[in-house]
Chain A
Amino acid sequence: MSEIKARPAKDFTNAPMCLSGRGVTKVFGLGDKKTVAVDHVDFDFHVGEFVSIVGESGSGKTTLSKMLLGLLNASEGEIQFMGKPRDISTGAKKREYWKGIQAIFQDPFSSFNVFHKIDSVLLDCINMRGGRNLPKEKKIEMMTEACSFVNLKFAELTNKYPFELSGGQMQRLMIARIFLLKPKILLADEPTSMVDACSRATILDMLLDLRDETGMTIIFITHDIGLAYYISDTVYIMEHGKFVEFGKADEVIINPQAAYTKRLISDVPKIHEEWDLSTVDLKAN
C-alpha cells in the first residue's frame, strides 16, 4: 500500500494555449432525426493543464472527445491546436495531428488488440516516434523505462498478451504507451471507471506524474465529479452538449454557480456531509 499525495491546483490563465475551440458542434442525423450531441462549445486548454470534463451519460462528452481526437469531424466550429487552426482534412495530416494527441480509453479490455503481444504494442510506439532504426538494446531500454514508470516489470511482460493482465495493469500499460509517445495532449476518457478503487489511485497518480514530468496537457473525461475535483486544475461541467460551467476545480466544486452543477454535486453520495434523501421527489419523472 502506498500513499498518493494530492497536488495543489495551479493557475493556467496566462499559460500558452494548447487546444482551443470556438462554437464546436456535432450534429448526428438529418431532418427530424437530427440530434445535437455537442452544441456550440468553447474551450481553452492550456499547455500543462489538467482539465476535467464532467458530464453524465448522454451529455455529449464522449462525442466531444472523439472530435478533439480527430476521430469525428465537427459539424461546425473551429478547433485550434498549438495556436494554429487544426487541419485534419487528409490522412497524412491526420497522422501528423495524432503525433500530438493520444488517448486512453475507458475499457482497457477492448483497448488492446488481443492478438498483439505487449512488446509489439510498445515497440509500435517507438517506431511511431521515429525510433524504427534504433538498435534493439536501445529499444528494450526505452520499453523497460516506460514500464518502470508505471510500476510494471518489462521483463515479465514480454511474450504476454494484454488480456493476461488485470484491468488496472492494462491501463498502466496504456500510460506506458503514452510515456513512450510523449504527445502534447493526452485525452483520457474515463480511464478509471472500470478499474477497482485500489488501482484507481495508482493510475491517477501516474497521470499526474506524467503531466508533471513531460508538461503535457491532460484532458480527463469523467462522470465522477469527486474524482474530477481531486485530480484536476480546471473543471468543465457538461450538460446536454453544452458547458454549463467551467473554472478552477476548487471554485466550481466548492462554490458552484450553475443550477446543474449544484444539483450534480448535491446528488452525489458523500461521507462527511449528509446525503439528503428527503428532498427527493419520487413522483418526479
Chain B
Amino acid sequence: MGKKILEVRNLKTKYITRFHEDVFAVDGVSFDIEEGKSLGVAGESGCGKSTLALSMMGYYFPPLHYISGDIIIDGKNISGMDPDAVRKNILGTEIAYIPQAAMNALNPTQRIIRFVEDVIRVHEPGASKKDIRERATQRFAELGLPASVLDKHAVELSGGMKQRTVIAISTILSPKVLIADEPSSALDVTSQKMVIKMMRELMEKGYIKSMLFITHELPLLYNVTDDIMVMYAGQIVEKGTAKEMVFDPTHPYSHGLMGSILVPEEGTRGAKLTAIPGTPPNLKKPPQGCRFAERCKYARPECRYTGIPERFFGENDSRMYRCLMGVDELKEVYSHE
C-alpha cells in the first residue's frame, strides 16, 4: 500500500437556503487516495459530487457550511482551519481546484503571466518577475504549452488551450491533490483528450501526487482514473477500481448507472440500456433508511427504515458498497435479468 496523500473522514457539509433550511449535500463521506493514484467520482446531478469538491478545499463561504469531519492532506488536518489560513497555506500548494468553468475565470484584460505571478506570490511574496517567468516557461514547456501563451490574453486562446492553461497555472506550485470538477465537459472531444493527456502528464511527472476527478461521463472516468466511487444523495454507495466498477458493479444504483453507458463501439447498438425511474430524494430531509430504496427495483420493506451499513468485500476488502443485500445475493438477482 502506498502512502495516503488524502484522507477524508466522515465529512459532512450543508447548504443553508434563503429560507434558512438545511440541505445536507455531503452527508458522511469517507475515502482516501494513495500517492500516485486518482479517484473518480460519478453520480447524477444533485448527488453532491460538486459540493464534495468544494467542501474538500476547507474553504467555505455561504451558503455552504461545514458541519463535521476531517480532511487530512499528507498528515495535515485542514478541516478546522481559518478560511484565510486555508487560502494562504493550503490552496495552491496542498490542494488545487479546477471547476468546469475555470477557463472563464481568466480576467480578459490581463496577460497570462499575471495570473502565474498572482498564484506564486500568495505563497512567495518576494519572488522576482524573472524567476517566476523562468519557472512558468519551464513548466509550460513540460506540459506542452508554448511559452508564447504567457504573454497572451485569455481571449486569444481557444477553449481547450484556456482550460489547459488554467490547469497549468493552478498546479504551478505542485499541489499534493488536484480536484478537477468536470474539467473537460465544456470542450469538444479533441480538446478533452488533450486536457486529460495533460493531467496524466502532471501525475506521471510528479507535479501532483493524487487526483480527485469528478464527472458524470462514465466512459471518461473509466479511462482517466484508477478507482471510481459512485455518489448518491450525498453519500458514497459504492467504491472500487475503475474496471470493477464499470464491468462488475455491485450496488443496484451503480448497476443501473453502468448500464446506461453509450459508446461508439461495435456491440453497443444491440445492447440493452438500463433506466432508473424516479428522482433522487430531497436532501433537506434525507430518508431514514436506504436513500436509493424509493427507486430500487430490489428494495425490501426494511430498506426504507434500517440504517444501511457499509459492506466490504474483495481482495483486502478493497471494495465497498452500501446495501442490505449481500454481494452474492445481488449477483444472483442481476443474473436473472
Residues of A at the B interface (CB closer than 8 Å) are: 1-6, 8-9, 56-57, 151, 166-169, 196-202, 204-205, 223-230, 249-250, 253-254, 263-265, 267-273, 275, 277, 280-285
Can you pick out 27 interface pairs between chain A and chain B where the beta carbons lie within 8 Å of each other?
A: A1-B252, A1-B255, A1-B256, A1-B274, A1-B295, A2-B297, A169-B279, A196-B216, A198-B274, A198-B275, A199-B276, A229-B262, A230-B269, A230-B271, A249-B269, A263-B190, A267-B192, A270-B264, A271-B222, A275-B219, A277-B200, A282-B145, A282-B194, A282-B197, A283-B144, A283-B146, A285-B161
Knowing that A2-B274, A198-B275, A199-B44 are A-B contacts, what are 12 other residue pairs whose CB atoms are under 8 Å apart, sorted by A's residue number?
A3-B274, A57-B188, A197-B218, A198-B257, A199-B275, A226-B268, A263-B190, A268-B219, A269-B223, A270-B264, A271-B218, A277-B197
Give the Cβ gap from A250 to chain B, nearest Cβ, in Å. 7
Cα distance A230–B272 when bound, in Å? 10
Interface string of B188-219 (1 = CB under 8 A from A): 11101110111011000000000000001111
**Do A198 and B262 have beta carbons less than 8 Å apart?**
no
Q: Which 4 A-B pairs have the closest CB atoms?
A: A282-B144, A196-B44, A198-B276, A201-B275
Tell me the nearest residue of chain A to B157, going by C-beta: A285
**Do B297 and A166 have beta carbons less than 8 Å apart?**
no
**Do B264 and A151 have beta carbons less than 8 Å apart?**
no
Cα distance A9–B337 when bound, in Å? 24
Cα distance A249–B144 when bound, in Å? 36
**Do A271 and B277 have beta carbons less than 8 Å apart?**
no
Residues of B within 8 A of A1 (CB): 252, 255-256, 274-277, 295-297
**Do B44 and A275 have beta carbons less than 8 Å apart?**
no
Residues of A within 8 A of B261 (CB): 197, 271
**Do B189 and A264 have beta carbons less than 8 Å apart?**
yes
Residues of B within 8 A of A268 (CB): 189, 219, 263-264
Give the Cβ gap from B101 to chain A, nearest Cβ, in Å. 15
Residues of B within 8 A of A202 (CB): 275, 277
Residues of B at the A interface (CB closer than 8 Å) are: 44-45, 143-146, 158, 161, 164, 188-190, 192-194, 196-198, 200-201, 216-220, 222-224, 246-247, 252, 255-257, 259-277, 279, 295-297, 337
Residues of A within 8 A of B264 (CB): 225-226, 228-229, 253, 265, 268, 270
Give the Cβ gap from B23 to chain A, nearest Cβ, in Å. 16
Q: A197 contacts which of B196, B201, B257 (Cβ < 8 Å)?
A: B257
Give the Cβ gap from B98 to chain A, nearest Cβ, in Å. 17
Residues of A within 8 A of B268 (CB): 226, 229-230
Give the Cβ gap from B177 to chain A, nearest Cβ, in Å. 22
Cα distance A269–B268 when bound, in Å? 14
Cα distance A20–B217 when bound, in Å? 34
**Do A197 and B260 have beta carbons less than 8 Å apart?**
yes
**Do A205 and B267 have beta carbons less than 8 Å apart?**
no
Given A57-B188, A226-B264, A230-B262, answer yes or no on A269-B222 (Cβ-Cβ < 8 Å).
yes
Cα distance A4–B272 when bound, in Å? 5
Tell me the nearest residue of chain B to A274, going by C-beta: B223
